[in-house]
């Protein structure tokens, strides 16, 4: 599943996920491959909406037991973001990244069978207009 976020005709965010079977093939896991929001649009609830949409979709399928992702260990802002959704740390993978220092990733996991579906647009923040840096002809 890939979901894109646009403001007008400008791509400002995206999430990409895939399903992986558990080793016993008795369930699936939702792996969040990438979640990103263009820097000028962060703190505008775009990442929250993208993540909620993915978690809502995943939790609607009873075969999917959890969601998980890797986060660069020094990225405390991202780790805190996912923890606000109920993700918990599930270990560290040493030497996960090839081009980052340190090369380690924390694994964050969320039990989707306990996830309470939330509307993607139900946010605590107020919406704000961020002017585009592009010039309009």
Q: Is residue 48 part of a domain?
A: yes
CATH code, domain with 17: 3.40.630.30
Catalytic residues, by residue number, are 31, 70
Residue 124 lies in a domain: no
The pLDDT assigned to 95 comes to 96
d(CA 83, CA 7): 26
pLDDT for the residue 43: 84
CA angle 73, 71, 97 (to 5 degrees): 75
Which domain range does residue 16 map to? 2-111
Q: What local confidence, expressed as pLDDT, does residue 120 receive?
A: 66
Question: What is the sign, positive or negative, of the torsion defined by CA atoms of 98, 34, 20, 85?
Answer: positive
In a domain, 118, yes or no: no
For the chain, the domain total comes to 1
Q: What is the pLDDT along the chain (137 residues), one digit of tens a residue?
A: 899 999 999 999 999 999 999 999 999 999 999 999 999 998 889 999 999 999 999 999 999 999 999 999 999 999 999 999 999 999 999 999 999 999 999 999 999 999 988 776 644 433 333 343 444 44
d(CA 30, CA 73): 21
Residues 6+ apart with CB under 8 A from 12: 5, 6, 37, 38, 41, 46
Domain-located, residue 121:
no
H-state helical runs in the chain: 46-59, 76-83
């Amino acid at each position: 599943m890939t979901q894109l976020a646009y403001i007008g005709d400008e791509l400002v965010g995206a999430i990409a996920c895939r399903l992986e079977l558990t080793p016993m093939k008795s369930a699936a896991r939702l792996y969040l491959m990438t979640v990103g929001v263009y820097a000028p649009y962060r703190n505008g609830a775009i990442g929250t909406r993208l993540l909620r949409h993915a978690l809502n979709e995943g939790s609607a399928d009873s075969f999917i037991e959890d969601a998980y992702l890797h986060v660069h260990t020094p990225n405390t802002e991202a780790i805190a973001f996912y923890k606000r959704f109920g993700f918990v740390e599930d270990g560290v993978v040493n030497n996960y990244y090839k081009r980052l220092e340190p090369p380690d990733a924390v694994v964050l996991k969320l039990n989707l069978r306990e996830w309470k579906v939330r509307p993607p647009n139900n946010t605590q923040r107020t919406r704000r207009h961020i002017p585009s840096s592009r010039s309009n002809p």
